[in-house]
């Protein structure tokens, strides 16, 4: 007999609670990661809060072990303030990985003083993740080689003709 007044949650409630905790933990970890590894960072909680137009307390709570129930609006504001157009960054492991790879490429390009890169894709929906990773690796290698070549040229003695 199913009792409605039973105070103990059923197995579905436990697994749902676990999923909620896992989601909060993932969001907290991703928020900490982007604050520390963004090409324009690292960001303090206060600086990111100001940039995103949310309270520092909200961000601090989101990064805590308990987490907080962030609104979709807050997640979108934080992502947008960091130049991340794919708000699923905080919710989807694949998007998290892809965006981080793109941001890492951006860091390398900035360190190499690259000002412009022209890319065009004709694949509907963009490049597959494996191709994007390969392209990212290729561009990173090219930029690193160019930086080594530039540094080597600066070290060579100047000869008078």
Q: CA torsion, points 100, 105, 108, 110, in degrees to nearest 10?
A: -100
User: Does residue 160 form part of some domain?
Assistant: no
Query: Which whole-number Å values give the CA distances from 78 to 43, 49, 57, 62, 64, in the listed order?
Result: 12, 8, 14, 12, 17
Kindly report which listed range (25-34, 139-148, 150-159) carries the lowest average pLDDT score.
Answer: 150-159
Report, as an integer, the average pLDDT of 15-19.
Answer: 88
Report, as an integer, the average pLDDT of 134-147.
Answer: 75
Structural domain including 102 reads 16-155
pLDDT of residue 2: 45
User: Does residue 117 form part of some domain?
Assistant: yes
Kindly report which listed range (37-51, 78-92, 131-145) carries the lowest average pLDDT score.
Answer: 131-145
Per-residue pLDDT tens digits for 65-101: 677 788 889 999 999 999 898 888 898 999 999 988 8
User: Does residue 1 form part of some domain?
Assistant: no
Distance between CA atoms of 21 and 145, rounded to whole angstroms?
44
Whether pLDDT at 49 is above 80? yes
User: Does residue 3 form part of some domain?
Assistant: no
* The total number of structural domains that make up the chain: 1
Query: Which CATH number belongs to the domain containing residue 128 in this structure?
Result: 1.10.260.40
Question: Tokens standing for 113?
Answer: 């003083």
User: Does residue 161 form part of some domain?
Assistant: no
Question: Tokens standing for 116?
Answer: 């412009």
User: Does residue 85 form part of some domain?
Assistant: yes
User: Does residue 11 form part of some domain?
Assistant: no
User: Does residue 113 form part of some domain?
Assistant: yes
Q: Is the pTM of this model over 0.95?
A: no
pLDDT-based confidence at 122, cuts 50/70/90?
low
């Amino acid at each position: 007999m199913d009792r409605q007044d039973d105070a103990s949650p059923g197995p579905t409630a436990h697994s749902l609670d676990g999923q909620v905790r896992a989601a909060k933990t993932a969001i907290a970890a991703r928020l900490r990661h982007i604050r520390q590894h963004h090409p324009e960072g690292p960001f303090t909680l206060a600086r990111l809060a100001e940039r995103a137009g949310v309270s520092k307390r909200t961000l601090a709570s989101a990064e805590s072990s308990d987490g907080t129930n962030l609104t979709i609006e807050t997640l979108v504001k934080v992502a947008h303030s960091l130049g991340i157009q794919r708000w699923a960054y905080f919710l989807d492991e694949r998007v998290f990985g892809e965006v981080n790879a793109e941001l890492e490429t951006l860091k390398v390009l900035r360190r190499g003083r690259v000002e412009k890169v022209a890319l065009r894709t004709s694949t509907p929906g963009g490049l597959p993740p494996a191709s994007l990773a390969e392209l990212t690796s290729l561009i990173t290698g090219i930029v690193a080689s160019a930086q080594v070549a530039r540094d080597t040229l600066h070290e060579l003695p100047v000869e008078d003709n």
